[in-house]
Amino acid sequence: MKRFGILTLLVIGSFLLQSTLLDILPLRIKPDLILILVIFFSLLNGRRHGLIMGVTAGLLQDLLRGRLLGMNLLALALTGWVVGLLEDKVYKENILVPILVVFLATLLHALAMVILSAIAGLHLTLLTGLYIGVVEALYNTFLVPLFYGRFFISSTRGALSSVTRPNTYQG
């Protein structure tokens, strides 16, 4: 339960940071902190947990933004599931792996958003969507070295670890 609470706070904190402080930047395209969080979590926990994290974070994002309920949910769920397929196939301790995964997964997410936008009747061209995806992928990739190490340690040995440890307090 502690793990769920921490993940919830991370998603909400990422959303707030993304929608407040990052809006101050004079950039039209910004890093997607929630997407980075979903990618990290999926890479370290597998496709099932990645799918659940993507659905949860996407639904929260859709509800808080208040437009087109389900678009972020579907795009993040797909991204989380696909990245989760890599969990036992890559050497996650090497920083180059999450850098490459974040770049490619951000492009996948952008492609999913372009397809979902077309289905929803929005006028987002493939070229525009991929341009946004490439720029966002570069921003997201730049942030990986700043956050991945802490997330990796927390996921493998810390508060986000799925392994339950006995209470060692002998008080």
Range 2-157: architecture per CATH? Orthogonal Bundle (1.10)
Quick: pLDDT tens for 74-119.
999 999 999 999 999 999 899 999 999 999 999 999 999 999 999 9
pTM of the model: 0.88
Domain ranges in the chain are 2-157
Work out the burial of residue 82: count CB atoms within 10 Å of its CB; fewer than 13 is exposed, 13-18 middle, 19 or more buried.
Answer: buried
pLDDT category of residue 71 using cuts at 50, 70 and 90: very high
Which residues are CB-neighbours of 99 under 8 A, at least 6 positions away? Answer: 141, 144, 145
Residues 6+ apart with CB under 8 A from 132: 29, 110
Q: Which two tokens stand for residue 1?
A: 């339960």
- Summarised one tens digit per residue, pLDDT across range 42-66 is 999 999 999 999 999 999 999 988 7
Measured CA to CA, the distance from residue 78 to residue 162 in angstroms comes to 22
The predicted pLDDT at position 10 comes to: 85
Do the beta carbons of residue 120 and residue 71 sit within 8 Å? yes
